[in-house]
Amino acid sequence: MTARVVGVFPMEAHARRRRLFAALEAAFPLRFEGRDQADTDGLDGAVFVGAAPPAKPPACPWLSFEHDRVASPARASVHIGTDPLIDARLRGRTLTEGLAGAARPLRPADSGRVLATTPAGPVWLASAEEPRRYLASVAPAELAADEPLRARLRAGSFLGLLPLIHLLREICAERPWTQPAPRACFIIDDPNLHALTYGHVDFRRLVAHAARGGYHVAIASTPLDYGFVHRRAAALFRERSGQISLAIHGNNHERHELARVHDEAAALALGAQALRRSRRLEQRTGLRVSRVMCAPHEECNQVMVRALFRLGFDGLARELMAPVSQPAARAGGVLADWEPAELIGGLPVLPRYGLRADGEDLVFRSYLNLPILVCLHHQDLAGGLDVLDATAAKVNRLGPHSWMSLTDICRSNAVWWRMGNALVVRPYARRVALPVDRDVERIVVETPPSEPSVELRISCGSASTSGPAGGAFDVAGPFPSLVEIEMSSVDRVGADAVPAPSPRVWPVVRRLLTESRDRLAPLPRPRRLAQRLIA
């Protein structure tokens, strides 16, 4: 499809925001052009920054930012209106914004529609007639080097970019991606299944709360602990798979485990051992372990990311804003946390957020159709499980969410749209599955770009091909009613083909001490003793 063209006036405004407009071009099927004030021909949309629109405005939707910037930022609240023009996930919300206190209020026309206000007055307006004309108070600033687009659409920083995103979605409306249903999952790092409890987590109470609250909890457990599983804990996880599941948390859970590996062979050995341990657990207990790596301490370098992708992990989950000691997936690329997942070295990376993260940002995650992954540790439940109930209720107030395991979130992590007899699919996980209508004759698999770029092997039904990430792959039918699409490395390696790391005693000793500390945590004096022993 030919990309839509959006003019930016004056030309200097485009030049001053090259990184911002380049990021938006990566996020939307359109391109921006700096234009002279009178040059409005052939445009699908227009953006005016700090300059009045011409006497004869373009015959397309346009947005005018009254001010290029504010002199001195001041934090205040922004109330998003309830006008039907506004996305339902934003209507009626009151959100905090760092520029709101300095944004000059606008004067609405008699027939205008007010979309957002601050205590001082309106800051985002729309015309009543079409093509729609929008007026906003403050333009978004240029992105800093290596700054992701998402940094300008989050709690505390959204007033400039939100009206522009609204306009771009309107311009691209004829290519509406069908999104998966809103999805969510809690992730608790560290607990193992050596007993029915772990620290402040009682699995029986946890599944009871999850059943009442309608949510799902993934236990990110260290594969080193998979050698023994309590019989009753295994039975509970099998019987209550709708409320609780397992995922992979490192391999031995040593300090900087996924960040200090700089040798490809060592990285492959570490990841392969985690997979073999997971498989043996499944064979012994009948449980299922999600092939999603939940990064210990949110650390994972590029060498390890590449190894996980080659070994066939479904994805990596980590907090993007957490500090890391290696330049790994530091914060991803310009579209980090903007799409359902981002490919880094070919591996889908799903952002997750701490339990205490800014609750306002959940609104923007919902607005961007992102899965909501909330991570925590057993210590976060020292005061009881009500904090999970309250967080789940807060998520569901954004709109009903399907709570599911990390495996199911990955398999549903794709968007698609119909184009005549073709179905265009963009997968955001290594393996996805989606229903296909009988009259679909072609499936076009649009793979997301990867940083760094990699060669992918794409399987769609019974057909397969290969090519660089970011390309499109056309597959002819017929297709079954449920089609599976898989993205894998062209040099994929099976876990059984990778030699095991040399046996070491320290990981076992360290894990025993750490587990003892965690299990004694509810008891004050033994906890302090355990902490001194492993310090």
Sorted by sequence, the CB contacts under 8 Å of residue 49 that are 6+ apart come out as 8, 9, 10, 13, 65, 68, 139
Q: What separation, in Å, do the N-terminal and C-terminal C-alpha atoms of the chain show?
A: 59
Instruction: Please indicate, yes or no, whether residues 407 and 420 belong to a single structural domain of this protein.
Output: no
**Residue 178 has what pLDDT?**
87
Report the pLDDT value the prediction gives residue 425, as an integer from 0 to 100. Answer: 95
Task: State the maximum Cα–Cα separation within the chain, in Å, rounded to a whole number.
Answer: 78
Same-domain check for residues 298 and 430: no
Residue 129 inside a domain? The answer is yes
Give the Cα separation of 525 and 362 in Å (integer). Answer: 38
Amino acid, single-letter form, for residue 515: E
48 and 101 together in one domain: yes
Task: Tell whether 265 is covered by a domain.
Answer: yes
Asked if 364 and 158 count as a contact pair (C-beta separation under 8 A), the reply is yes
Task: Return the sign of the alpha-carbon dihedral for residues 195, 198, 199, 201.
Answer: negative
Cα 434 from Cα 426, distance rounded (Å): 11
The identity of residue 129, as a single letter, is E
Residue 108's pLDDT is what? Answer: 81
Q: Are residues 144 and 259 in the same domain?
A: no
Q: Is residue 68 part of a domain?
A: yes
Q: Which of 165, 278, 240 is nearest to 403 (CA)?
A: 240
Nearest to 352, CA basis, from 323, 319, 306 = 319
pLDDT at 326: 39
Question: Residue 283 contacts by C-beta under 8 Å, 6 or more apart in sequence?
Answer: none
Q: Are residues 396 and 460 in the same domain?
A: no
Write the single-letter amino acid at 517.
R
Closest CA to 150 of 452, 429, 368: 368
Q: Are residues 249 and 363 in the same domain?
A: yes
Same domain, residue pair 247 and 211 = yes
Give dist(CA 223, CA 277) in Å, integer: 6
Are 395 and 526 contained in the same domain? no
Spatial separation of the C-alpha atoms in residues 165 and 16, rounded to whole Å: 18
Residue 305 falls inside a structural domain = yes
CB within 8 A of 460, min separation 6: which ones? Answer: 443, 445, 473, 475, 483, 484, 485
Number of structural domains found in the chain: 4
Q: If we measure between CA atoms, which residue out of 152, 40, 31, 156 comes closest to residue 99? A: 156
What does DSSP assign to residue 165? Answer: H
Do residue 407 and residue 527 come from a single domain?
Answer: no
DSSP state for residue 139 in the 8-state scheme: P
With beta carbons less than 8 A apart as the criterion, state whether 296 and 288 touch.
no
Q: Is residue 176 part of a domain?
A: no
Integer Cα distance of 305 and 268 in angstroms: 10
Its pTM stands at 0.91
Q: Tell me the average confidence (pLDDT) per consecutive run of 10 residues in the chain, 535 residues long.
A: 86 94 93 89 93 82 90 88 95 92 84 91 93 94 91 92 97 83 96 97 97 97 96 97 97 93 95 98 97 94 95 92 41 81 92 84 92 96 95 92 96 92 93 93 92 91 89 90 94 95 92 92 68 58
**Do 385 and 477 reside in the same domain of the chain?**
no
Task: Give the C-alpha separation, 220 to 189, whole Å.
Answer: 5
* Cβ atoms 308, 316 nearer than 8 A: yes
Task: Please report the DSSP string for 29-80 in residue order.
Answer: SEEEEE--TT--TT-SEEEEESSPPPSS--SS-EEEEEES--SS---EEEEE
> pLDDT value at position 111?
67
User: Do 194 and 320 sit in the same domain of this protein?
Assistant: yes
The Cβ of residue 110 has, within 10 Å, a number of other Cβ atoms equal to: 5
User: CATH code at 307?
Assistant: 3.20.20.370
What pLDDT is recorded for position 527? Answer: 55
Of 411, 427, 453, the last residue of a domain is 411
Last residue within a domain, chosen from 388, 411, 434: 411
Expressed as residue numbers, the domain containing 317 is 183-411
**What CATH number is given to the structural domain containing 48?**
3.40.50
Residue 266 lies in a domain: yes
Question: Both 257 and 341 in a single domain?
Answer: yes
Half-sphere exposure at residue 494, Cβ-oriented, CA atoms within 13 angstroms = 3
Classify 21 as helix, strand or coil.
helix
> DSSP assignment, residue 182?
P
Domain assignment present for residue 43? The answer is: yes
Q: What is the CA radius of gyration of the chain?
A: 25
Nearest to 35 by CA among 58, 10, 60, 57: 10
Final residue before a domain boundary, out of 130, 149, 171: 171
Please state whether beta strands 463-468 and 414-419 pair in parallel, antiparallel, or not at all (unpaired): unpaired
Does residue 50 sit within a domain? yes
Rounded Cα distance, 285 and 246, in Å: 12
